[in-house]
Amino acid sequence: MKIVNARVLDLDADTSSGPVTIEVRDGVITSVGKTAGPAGPADLDAENAFVLPGLINAHEHLSLKGRLLDPDGEQYYDVYRAPAERQLMQCARSLLTSLGRGITTVRDAGAAWSVNLRIRDAVRDGMLPGPRIYTCGQVLSIPFEGEKVKVAGMTVDAAGVDGVTETVADLVKQGVDFIKLKGHRRDFADPNRNNYFSSEEIVTAGSEARRQGLKFALHAWHCHVVGPALDAGVVDSIEHGNPLHEQPELIDKMAASGVILVPNVVSWAPGPEARWSRYPHMAGIELERVWDTVTLAIAKGVTLAAGTDLHNDHLHTELQAYVRMGLPTTEALKTATINGAKLLGLDSELGSIESGKLADLAIFETDPRQDLSVLATPRTVVTRGVAHDAGQVRRLVGDGEP
């Protein structure tokens, strides 16, 4: 198929092309060039709309939605406790929510019972439409003494160097796409209770992941878990990362070594006004640190990849936050395209519109560089050369979560 009259955004040059034709064969872009003739019946006329690479959500939990978005006492844990079948259905719904928002790749950062692996395979095998999924399955965690989140099964306990090594090997056997380790274990009901992996355990997890040819992601809310992973050179991304601004030398090291920061600002504090008020019962998370960390990371040139954690209809809000923290708009757009592709190690296939890359595209009525909020309402989303009416997908799912 051909997509004609497309105005392709070049984020490196900060320009948009005149109307061009994108030719696609077997789901792959075969050429991008001057428009030649009118569209045929099998072609798509972009009618001078703006075309971006399909968006990449670099940190998402497909299975964790619903009442989790308004965490309040026990209801918060009910979402985690939902049966696996229910969580799998939530994954299917999240696929459509993401597709309607122009998201063609999702990096899923953890789900109970590894339902994320099942939904990944279903999309890959053509059972369901939706973004391609790249997932860690379950998250390595230190054994947990409380009962609240333990029931979730989103994390898998690992203790000691041998325990960590065995757990990584088991996840690899399950077919995960990357390894994620949660540096600390916090009981949300008791923010003061923290347990941490040792430096040796963290470095072992990263080394084992690398040995298996997988990327290693470190979920970090504390500087002292980040330092050893950076020094050992075994980490590819820091998830969240607050409060790294307290040790700016760690941010310098990330910038120098190309370790990517996936902050998920929207999950905690989408605007400075929300710093204190959003989740009062989670005061221990110290929301203000998210903005301070990301602002400094931007100033020091750390590569960011945009993720929404729990809010998959708010990737545009995440990008808007980066701009408010000092990132130029075209750079913000890269955090949800080429930077996400680099994080996955798939930048030769995804993240820009070039001959030889997969035909994952999102088409917008107006130029997203002028107003990032248009990212929420693409006209058309193309996954591997298959075009979907994005407005129809959004109507199908409706607003909000059940």
Site residues (vs Zn ion, CB under 5 A)? 109, 309
- Cβ proximity to Zn ion: between 43 and 108 the closer is 108
Closer to Zn ion by Cβ: residue 109 or 140: 109
Report the nearest approach of Zn ion to the CB of residue 47 (Å). 38
Q: How many CB atoms lie within 10 A of CB 147?
A: 10
Any idea what the Cα angle at residue 316 is, between residues 176 and 184, rounded to 5°? 45
CB of 61 to Zn ion, least distance (A): 6
* Cis upstream peptide for 41 (omega within 30°): no
C-beta of 24 vs 266, nearer to Zn ion: 266
Q: Smallest gap, in angstroms, from Cβ of residue 264 to Zn ion?
A: 6
From residue 302, alpha-carbon distances to 81, 251, 255 in Å are 37, 7, 4
Instruction: Report the run of H or E that residue 84 belongs to, with start and end.
Output: helix 84-100
The CB-of-268 to Zn ion minimum distance in angstroms stands at 11
In the complex with Zn ion, the residue whose CB is nearer, 109 or 372, is 109
CB atoms within 10 A of CB 157: 14
In angstroms, what is the minimal distance from the CB of 65 to Zn ion?
12
Question: Going by C-beta distance under 8 Å and a sequence separation of 6 or more, which residues neighbour residue 277?
Answer: none
Nearer to Zn ion, 109 or 203 (CB): 109
Residue number with CB closer to Zn ion (109 or 302): 109
> Which distant-in-sequence residues (6+ apart) come within 8 Å of 267 by Cβ?
308, 309, 310, 311
User: How many angstroms separate the CA atoms of 96 and 145, rounded?
Assistant: 36
Buried b (16+ CB within 10 A) or exposed e, 252-263: ebbbeeebbbbb
Of 387, 357, 363, 382, whose CA–CA distance to 29 is shortest? 357
CA distance 43 to 101: 22
- Residue 25 CB, shortest distance to Zn ion, in Å, is 37
Q: At 14, phi and psi to the nearest 5?
A: 55, 45
The secondary structure of residue 304, as a DSSP letter, is: B
3-state secondary structure of 215: strand
Q: How far is the CB of 181 from Zn ion (least distance, A)?
A: 13
Supply the minimum distance, in Å, between the C-beta of residue 109 and Zn ion. Answer: 4
Q: For Zn ion, give the closer residue by CB, 151 or 169.
A: 151
Question: For residue 354, how many other CB atoms are within 10 A of its CB?
Answer: 12
Rounded-to-integer distance, Cα 258 and Cα 205, Å: 19
Q: Supply the minimum distance, in Å, between the C-beta of residue 291 and Zn ion.
A: 18
Which pair of tokens denotes residue 379?
A: 């006209």
What minimum distance in Å lies between the beta carbon of 395 and Zn ion?
A: 28
Return the C-alpha torsion angle 270, 190, 63, 210, nearest 10.
90
| Helix 199-211 with 160-174: angle, nearest 10 deg | 30
Nearer of residues 59 and 388 to Zn ion, judged by Cβ = 59
In whole angstroms, the minimum distance from the beta carbon of 259 to Zn ion comes to 18
Question: Any idea what DSSP says for residue 259?
Answer: P
Of 60 and 201, nearer to Zn ion (C-beta) is: 60
Residue 6 vs 152, nearer CB to Zn ion: 152
Type and span of the H or E element at 340: helix 338-344
Question: In terms of CB distance, is 109 or 327 closer to Zn ion?
Answer: 109
